Structure 1
């Protein structure tokens, strides 16, 4: 009887872990260099809070197969941002003074505009966001207009900024489309057969047309085939 209870306890524990967490393997480059191809990520399914800089697993609004993508949260509801010459500029909560204080506290680059203070490439210093300046990108990706993130939406970007299908393609994602949060990155195991695959997904011409023709089909993201 005691052994049965132990087995039941183990099964219950595994079910709880399965319900609370997911494990995926990276097979793409859009999150270089925070997550490299072959890395394994542990994700928490219950996402109580979302912070700027969090790595999120989100549904791709334009993917007819309903695949999931791994991206970094670049802006929260109420934040303002724009992009100029590939550089991402962020105003916290649409508040110039708060943005200025945050820049001083964390030694972040700051620019002054007619709309107030904005952080310049705020994720470059702490998260290793990279640009490939040799890669030619469409003008629409080099420059984005001033935008305020609407309520219950999150603006997500790939760390490899010049080769990522993200919110610049499909806009901010609704809170309901945030499926989990990355809590740990394990580097490149040799052979974990039980892991779910994360496959690269090109932005198809059909998706481009739906989104106003923002980008060519050569830009890529990391999608997850899920058993949920």
Structure 2
């Protein structure tokens, strides 16, 4: 296994971060240099408490108080004042609370379909700094059965997957002994139980999966549906999950590029836990797809 690349990628949160930094630097430059040449109100209060309040207000709105007027300021300054609070709010929500993702493939069918738009809980596993993903507050750890969104670790240096976000199901946590053979899962020597739910009927972009066998896989922690093909097996594996790593697989076992092929998910590459489908569009709108899942 090759060395782990940096987490950084040019995703939406990163772009928003640099836009905010750009606006902030513009306004700092304006306050200390350009504003002296104008007659507009650049009021900065006296007194320690008042100044602290003014600084926090500036961090949120790029002005020291709500009495400052935009009239008379250069276009770029007025533009920054108008858009900065909105972008900041979106950035905070996406970075620390909830982030939307779109499912691009069939690897998590039947749980998630191509065209599902999902929400990911960003704080359930702890608070992380945007851009670097450094954890600053630990809350919970991923559990077996969680549907996990993570930055692809790209051990092999695959340029087409660099910076991509993946979604899979947690099968093994640190210390677990995982055996997957002939579509049978064993976790620490305990075999999962399976219930045949019949022949699967594919939907829209996944219609080619019609004829697969739909199974319910039940472990000690959770049960969920998976897709397999009778008399045809996906990749087998027998491995122990290292410290601070996670073993993940897609629910569409024969059509999922997951830990069986490229290795473990490092803890520092975890983005969050997927929990809600809020929209669906593949070849058509499907409102019956909306709701919580696990």
TM-score range, shorter chain: 0.5 to 0.7
Q: Which moved more, 1:29-38 or 1:47-56?
A: 47-56
Determine if contact 1:87/1:121 at 8 Å carries over to the other structure.
no
Please list, as runs of the form range in 1=range in 2, the aligned pairs for 1:6-155 lying within 5 A after superposition.
12-20=88-96, 21-46=98-123, 47-48=125-126, 49-60=141-152, 61=154, 62=156, 63-64=158-159, 65-91=162-188, 109=193, 122=219, 126-133=223-230, 136-137=232-233, 141=235, 143-145=236-238, 147-155=239-247
Give ranges in structure 1 of 5+ residues lacking alignment.
Answer: 111-119, 192-228
For 2:176 and 2:186, the matched residues in 1 are separated by 11
Decide which structure has greater strand share: 1
Total equivalences in the alignment: 164
RMSD: 3.5
Determine if contact 1:124/1:130 at 8 Å carries over to the other structure.
no
Determine if contact 1:123/1:129 at 8 Å carries over to the other structure.
no
* Cross-structure match for 2:264: 172
TM-score (norm 1): 0.60
Q: Which structure is higher in RCO with an 8 Å CA cutoff and minimum separation 6?
A: 1
Equivalent residue of 1:130, what SS?
Answer: strand
For 2:145 and 2:270, the matched residues in 1 are separated by 14
Once the two structures are TM-superposed, the CA of residue 159 in structure 1 deviates from its matched residue by 0.5
For 2:269 and 2:168, the matched residues in 1 are separated by 12
Decide which structure has greater helix share: 2
- Work out which of the residue numbers 275, 281, 284 in structure 2 matches 1:183: 275
Determine if contact 2:218/2:224 at 8 Å carries over to the other structure.
no
Once the two structures are TM-superposed, the CA of residue 124 in structure 1 deviates from its matched residue by 11
